[in-house]
Amino acid sequence: MNKKKIFNDPIYGLIRFNHDILYEIIDHPYFQRLRRISQQALSHYVYPGALHTRFQHALGALHLMTRALDTIKSKGVEISDDEYEAGCVAILLHDIGHGPFSHALEHALANVHHENISLLLIQKIAEELNKDFTLAIQIFKGEYHRPFLHQLVSGQIDVDRMDYLTRDSFYSGVAEGIIGYDRIITMMNVVNEQLVIEEKGIYSVEKFLMARRLMYWQVYLHKTVISAEVMLISILKRARYLAQQGTKIASSEELTFFLTTPKDNQTIIRHPDFLKNFVLLDDMDILWMIKKSVNHEDFVMQYLCKNLLDRKLLKVTLYSEESFETYLKAKKAFQVKLGLNDDEIEYFFSEKKEVIFPYDTRAGEINMLMKSGRIQPYSALNPNLLTSAEERTFLFYQRDISK
């Protein structure tokens, strides 16, 4: 018998779950690995407290899922025990496929979306625990005939987003990310098997959308955070190049597999050793390689690794005609000073465009249940809310090697 542990969460307090299978999953090595996967990659370079993990987020999202399902059931919506349990399994394992440093290295090691890896691992965990996760997988993939269960896992206003906004705001100390998750959940209901938010929750929905927008520009896409992540990606790119050239890299066996195996999604995900190596890979593998490479014989590798560890990050500025001119001059001067070839200089100078949709109606609408009983899409009630893409292009460059 598996004792039902109580988790002391800094946000929600003491939380526990009613299904033994959830504790079996939490105790599984694949899930415990999430303790070693950072939730916000290198955001702690700007916000020192942002050192929380995917493990904490997964438990928090599960807690909010139980709250949401209990609320919906209390309003007369029939949810069977199997559906309840499967919904909880789906949200608990929704991030199980994240690799080291989460989104920052999403495609740097393997060009495979983390949700595709999550699906493989859900199937693998079911096999190892001798459980049937068919219903959980249907909910996870959005194939179950009751869409609201999938919408709670992955939708415009799901429990995943509610937890990561609340949690990331808490640990980063950015108050703009605080949302009224409690009120939003209280206002949840189901009509025609679709998730709806009752009209009284309309202002909480607006605050949720605006908080998400602010968190993206202020935390997730903060220019210094992106600069650190660009350097991290460049280090992995250089390590892959060197490993494939036969140059020795301080690397674990698991990381070596990914550095030396073609990362094309169709090639690597079908490799017989893909999952075996993936489940043993975490932030520690990457950090150890970086730490041991500060004196590497390859200048590009040692320079990037040492500067990332010492937080001497690439300079970053928003794109403009003037800033681009400065960028090109700095690039030429740096290349000449160090005698770098055209491939090597690209590790130190790059541009990146970031795009967000404050409210992306292409992914579906947040449906509001009006007091009259009518269902209205949120965009019809708040047409002034920005629905177009917001874009920013950043330039990254090394201004002076002496700094």
Parse the chain into domains and list their residue ranges.
Answer: 7-221+364-381, 223-354
**Continuous H helices in 28-156:** 29-32, 54-74, 81-92, 114-129, 134-141, 147-153
Neighbouring C-alpha atoms within 13 Å toward the C-beta of 133: 28
Query: Residue 219 carries which DSSP code?
Result: I
Backbone angles phi, psi at 402, to 5 degrees: -75, -10
Q: Which CATH class is domain 7-221+364-381?
A: mainly alpha
For residue 38, the 8-state DSSP code is B
What's residue 386's pLDDT? Answer: 61
Phi, psi of 376 (to 5 degrees): -125, 135
* pTM for this prediction: 0.94
The amino acid present at 377, given as its one-letter code, is P
Chain segment 170-190, per-residue pLDDT in tens: 999 999 889 999 999 999 999
What lies within 8 Å, CB to CB, of 351 at 6+ separation is 319, 327, 393, 394, 395, 396
CA 148 to chain centre: 22
pLDDT of residue 387: 66
Q: Are 76 and 61 in contact (CB under 8 A)?
A: no
Distance between CA 209 and CA 157 in Å, rounded? 9
- What is the per-residue pLDDT for 4? 77
- Residue 401: predicted pLDDT: 58
Tokens representing 143? 């194939």
Query: CA angle, 272 as apex, 267 and 278 as ends, to 5°?
Result: 85
Helix (H) or strand (E) holding 232: helix 223-244
- Rounded CA separation 171/400 (Å): 33
Amino acid sitting at position 265: N
Phi, psi angle pair for 185, to nearest 5° = -65, -40
- CATH assignment of 223-354, among 1.10.8.420, 3.40.50.300, 1.20.1250.30, 3.40.50.1000: 1.20.1250.30
Low-confidence ranges of the chain (pLDDT < 50): 1, 403
Widest CA span in the chain: 72
Amino acid found at 394: F
Task: Give the tokens for residue 133.
Answer: 């996760």
Q: Which two tokens stand for residue 28?
A: 């599984």
β-strand partners of 14: 8
